[in-house]
Homo-oligomer: A and B are copies of this chain.
Amino acid sequence: MAETAENGGVAEVIAFAKANHLANLIAIDNTASAHFIEKYTALVENGFDLVSSNKVANTVDFEFYTQLRKTLAENQKRYLYETNVGAGLPLIDTIRLLHLSGENITRIKGVFSGSLSYLFNAFSEENRPFSEVLLEAIDRGYTEPDPREDLSGNDVGRKLLILARELDLHNEFNDVQIENLIPEKLASGDVDNFINRLGELDTTFEKFKKEQDENHVLRYVGELYGDLTHEKGGKLEVKLVSVPKNSALGQVKGSDSIFEIYTESYGENPLVIQGAGAGAAVTARGVFGDILRLAERE
């Protein structure tokens, strides 16, 4: 959608709502647009609650993030985005309520990406080259059209940042230390060229696999830890790790996501939420869940 159309569209919708005295309005953003979020403020100021699966508003600069929340508070409106992390899994609301109710969250760790979950689960279990498993994931539509968007770790990094900000940490995307799985030589060029050269990844990943301790498997995880009671005390890391096969992270199957939430009063036993963390159907249901939450309030 071109900017003028977007501008016109939102202004028209607001005008229509006003002219017809509509109440209990909800604006739903299921785009991935970095542009459309600029309309959020106008929508909130004109009586709309917000629901979005779009992660951009929560991962752009912290100034926008806090300004939007200020606008929401001033207008007594809500912004729900449960599907930003873990699709239909009840993750953000759980973390939000734990945090609001005064529970000290000390660590959040997990497999945040359905596509990378599938990739490393299959690669760890099966005796096949990395490129073959990756090609299969691409063919099944588990990855983004350009699989480098998954393999770069940026998507996992964005999800980690969203969780960190739920805990009132003042972090920016640049603070996330991301282990990019794409070697420099394959980072540029078009998708077809990248897919033709997938075989060049095999030696590296075979090495990672072989160098593990016995009964260990590879997992690409996001981890938030450090002093989470201080605005800038959190460490945000996205990385490939080797974990015991019989640990919770090691047990994850298929394209499931898993989130371990450690808190002061739960101690060493985390609260664990696990399940299908990606996919259109699951995300659509999650968006609908957010709408139901808002509707119940009226």
Contacts and interface: CB of A to CB of B under 8 A. Distances in A.
A88 B254 CA distance: 28
B270 A266 contact: no
Interface residues of A, number: 37
A42 interface: no
A66 interface: no
Number of copies: 2
Interface string A71-92: 0000000100000000011100
B271 A266 contact: no
Contacts of A246: 246, 251
B253 A289 contact: no
Interface stretch (A126-134, A156-164, A274-282): A274-282
Interface of A: 78, 88-90, 93-94, 97-98, 100-103, 246, 248, 251, 253-254, 256, 265-266, 269-276, 281-282, 285, 288-289, 292-293, 296-297
10 closest Cβ pairs, A-B complex: A271-B275, A272-B274, A90-B94, A97-B289, A101-B288, A297-B297, A90-B90, A101-B289, A101-B285, A266-B276
